């Protein structure tokens, strides 16, 4: 199948759906590596639930180290509208909404951004095949924010996603800054199937910042893909619990 025969928006939607099915509970290690090799490690719990309308709800709670313990985030990942995010900061005993221009900022001092914690709505982007798309078993798809406002929200001028042509699994994503420099790459290092459902969980991801020499890795240590998760888990008022 050539790139011309396959709608890039549909490919991105189908790829999103494969990572967005099922209910998942996981313990996760976030490792932050500085340019000089110094390492910081954070442990967290992550609970994710998907809904028939394409909405994904996710809650992240930090367990270690002590200086971030109790910090929590709620992410409502909407299919066709902007995502909603809240953060609870235990030092302030306060839950607040993450406003749109903070979504491109660092997630807990890592090379992942707050926006990387959700899939983003494809309607926020102009999506097209790159010239090499469809060759070597890979779709190469560029997503450019539809406006300067959206670019500011996400924190980049464009991203290029590499998908396996058959499975539509994401291999990596390159991000370009406002000078059109490649500044960050997220690589998907491992996945786990979702049991009886079609789809998979990205269980090992590495974000490399090409400009500052830092990298961050998210690795799922334990994954339960058959968890029963009540809907009232995903309420901003619960973040402090």
Series of mean pLDDT values for 10-residue runs along the chain (241 residues): 74 87 89 97 94 89 95 89 90 92 90 88 93 95 96 95 95 97 98 80 96 97 88 90 85
pLDDT at 196: 60
Total count of residues recorded for the chain: 241
pLDDT of residue 69: 95
In terms of phi and psi (left: phi > 0; alpha: psi -120 to 50; beta: otherwise), the region of 22 is left
How many C-beta neighbours within 10 Å does residue 97 have?
A: 12
69 C-beta neighbours (distance < 10 Å), count: 14
pLDDT of residue 4: 54
Evaluate whether 122 touches 13 at the Cβ level (below 8 Å).
yes
Give CA–CA dist 131/153, Å, rounded: 27
- pLDDT of res. 5: 63
Q: Are the C-beta atoms of residues 241 and 232 closer than 8 Å to each other?
A: no
- The phi, psi pair for 219, rounded to 5°, reads -125, 125
* Predicted pLDDT of residue 53: 85
Residue whose pair of structure tokens reads 């997220």 in the numeric block: 186
Q: Pull the structure tokens for residue 126.
A: 């102009």
Closest CA relative to residue 28, chosen from 161, 195, 201: 201
Residue whose structure tokens are 């951004």: 113
CA angle 5, 128, 207 (to 5 degrees): 120
- Per-residue tokens: 170: 């994401």
Sign of CA dihedral 201, 61, 49, 105: negative
Question: How many Cβ atoms sit within 10 Å of the Cβ of residue 241?
Answer: 9
pLDDT of 121: 82
Burial 137-161 (b: 16+ CB within 10 A, else e): ebbbbbbbbeeeebbebbbbbbbbb
Q: What is the predicted pLDDT for the residue at 78?
A: 83
Q: Give the integer Cα–Cα distance in Å for 140 and 208.
A: 19
Strand, helix or coil for residue 42: strand
Distance between CA atoms of residues 146 and 220, nearest Å: 33
Q: How far apart are the first and last CA of the chain?
A: 50
């Amino acid at each position: 199948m050539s790139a011309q025969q396959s709608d890039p928006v549909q490919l991105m939607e189908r790829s999103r759906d494969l990572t967005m099915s099922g209910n998942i509970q996981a313990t996760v290690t976030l490792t932050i590596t500085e340019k000089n090799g110094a390492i910081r490690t954070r442990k967290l719990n992550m609970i994710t639930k998907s809904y028939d309308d394409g909405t994904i709800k996710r809650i992240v709670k930090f367990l270690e180290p002590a200086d971030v313990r109790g910090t929590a985030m709620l992410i409502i990942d909407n299919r066709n509208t902007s995502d909603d995010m809240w953060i609870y900061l235990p030092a302030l005993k306060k839950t607040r909404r993450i406003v749109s221009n903070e979504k491109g900022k660092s997630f807990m001092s890592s090379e992942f951004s707050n926006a990387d914690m959700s899939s983003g709505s494809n309607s926020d982007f102009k999506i097209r095949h790159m010239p090499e798309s469809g060759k070597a078993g890979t779709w190469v798809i560029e997503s450019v924010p539809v406006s300067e406002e959206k670019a500011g929200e996400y924190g980049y001028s464009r991203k290029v996603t590499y998908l396996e042509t058959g499975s539509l699994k994401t291999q990596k994503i390159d991000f370009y800054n406002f000078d059109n420099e490649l500044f960050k790459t997220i690589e998907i290092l491992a996945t786990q199937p979702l049991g009886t459902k079609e789809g998979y969980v990205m269980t090992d991801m590495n974000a490399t910042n090409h400009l500052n020499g830092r990298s961050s890795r998210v690795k799922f240590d334990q994954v339960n893909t058959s968890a029963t998760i009540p809907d009232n888990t995903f309420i901003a008022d619960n973040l402090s619990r």
